Structure 1
């Protein structure tokens, strides 16, 4: 449990950042989005 709303909010924001930016995605070659983006930029 969290001691405050701010603590809970921060935990959710950190997880959302992980989920959207660092977690591997099977739909983009099992890469995190930032790596897929860099790879796509160098291949174009």
Structure 2
């Protein structure tokens, strides 16, 4: 993707970060988006899955 202006690139990055943190599920944290995992971890003792490298 090619951007004509800095603002376009910045907006695309902000949108991706929002997707990654708010909607994309992460298998290593109970198949939850990071923000949901964080909220849940504040009130529950969560055990995350084994992290494989």
Fold shared by both chains (TM-score > 0.5): yes
After the TM superposition, list the runs of 4 or more consecutive aligned residues in structure 1 that deviate by more than 3 angstroms.
none
* Stretches of structure 1 lacking an aligned partner (at least 5 in a row): none
Distance 2:10 2:35 in 1: 24
**How many residues were matched structurally?**
43
**SS at 2:11 equivalent:** helix
> TM-score, with normalisation over the residues of structure 1?
0.68
Q: By how many angstroms is 1:3 displaced? A: 4.1
Deviation at 1:6? 1.1
- If asked which structure has higher relative contact order (CA below 8 Å, sep 6+), I would say 2
TM-score (norm 2): 0.61
C-alpha RMSD of the superposition: 1.6
Give the drift of 1:35: 1.0
Higher helix share: 1
The answer to whether the aligner puts 1:42 opposite 2:18 as a matched pair is: no
Matching residue of 2:48 = none
